[in-house]
């Protein structure tokens, strides 16, 4: 979840520098679906520039679950790993430069990595890291109010508030855009 340098970004850097040739570069406009809900993930994407969101159609409501920026890889991870249909859509927010790789190629890379002790440890550590991030993320939904969650995002991921339309952030925070607007208004007055 976090954008700080960690095992996950190290791992991506490693993959990216060693296997770049196996990726294909594309340029896509804003609001392009890289993977649609209901399809099975056949690719994994590396974002060179731009922003991407992962969202889920919940009873006709568009709920944003995650945001991704430069130098990150994104896929419907469970669909990718288990060959099941994706519960989520992956969509660009801004125009993007994306590099994609075929699922089979990527799985080969992962198998190769498992044979190299250093990379294998990096993989395991990265998975731990991801798990920690998710624990933290969902914990804030129990512990904190929407206002506190917004302040947390403001503090920990300011690029998000700067680059992402507010209604996506609202659904990411689990509230309506009307309510987020109220929170912002209240915070502005308080200052």
Partner DNA sequence: GACCGACGATAACATTTGTTATCAAATTAT
Partner DNA sequence: ATAATTTGATAACAAATGTTATCGTCGGTC
Binding site for DNA (CB under 7 A): 29-30, 145-147, 165-167, 174-182, 184-185
Please, what is the minimum distance in Å from the beta carbon of residue 88 to DNA? 18
Cross-strand bridge partners of residue 45: 74, 100
22 binds, among a second copy, DNA, none (CB under 5 to 8 A by kind): none
Residue 113: name the closest of 12, 24, 21 by CA.
12
Per partner kind, with CB cut-offs from 5 to 8 A, the member of DNA, a second copy, none near residue 18 is none
3-state secondary structure of 60: coil
User: Does residue number 128 form part of the binding site for a second copy (CB under 8 A)?
Assistant: yes
Rule CB under 8 A: say whether 81 interacts with a second copy. yes
Q: Are 68 and 51 in contact (CB under 8 A)?
A: yes
Q: How many CB atoms neighbour CB 63 within 10 A?
A: 15
If binding is defined by CB under 8 A, does position 4 make contact with a second copy? no
**Structure tokens, 8:** 């996950």
Q: In terms of CB distance, is 6 or 181 closer to DNA?
A: 181
Residue 89 structure tokens: 């859509």
Select from 56, 107, 179, 182 the one that contacts a second copy (CB under 8 A). 56
- Distance of CA 88 to CAs 80, 98, 150, 162, 173, Å? 12, 19, 23, 24, 17
Residues that bind a second copy (CB under 8 A): 56, 58, 63, 65, 77-78, 81, 114, 120-121, 123-124, 127-128, 130-132, 134-135, 137-139, 141-143, 171-172, 174
């Amino acid at each position: 979840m976090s954008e700080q340098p960690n095992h996950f970004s190290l791992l991506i850097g490693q993959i990216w520098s060693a296997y770049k040739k196996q990726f294909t570069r594309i340029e896509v406009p804003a609001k392009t679906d890289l993977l649609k809900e209901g399809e099975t993930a056949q690719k994994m994407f590396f974002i060179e520039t731009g922003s991407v969101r992962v969202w889920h159609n919940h009873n006709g409501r568009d709920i944003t679950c995650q945001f991704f920026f430069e130098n990150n890889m994104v896929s419907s991870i469970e669909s990718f790993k288990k060959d099941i249909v994706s519960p989520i859509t992956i969509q660009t927010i801004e125009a993007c430069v994306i590099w994609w790789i075929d699922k089979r190629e990527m799985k080969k890379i992962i198998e190769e990595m498992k044979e190299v002790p250093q990379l294998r440890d990096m993989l395991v550590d990265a998975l731990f890291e991801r798990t920690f991030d998710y624990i933290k993320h969902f914990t804030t939904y129990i512990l904190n109010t929407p206002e506190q969650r917004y302040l947390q995002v403001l503090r920990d991921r300011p690029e998000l508030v700067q680059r992402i339309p507010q209604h996506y952030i609202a659904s990411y925070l689990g509230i309506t855009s009307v309510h987020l607007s109220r929170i912002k208004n209240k915070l502005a007055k308080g200052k």
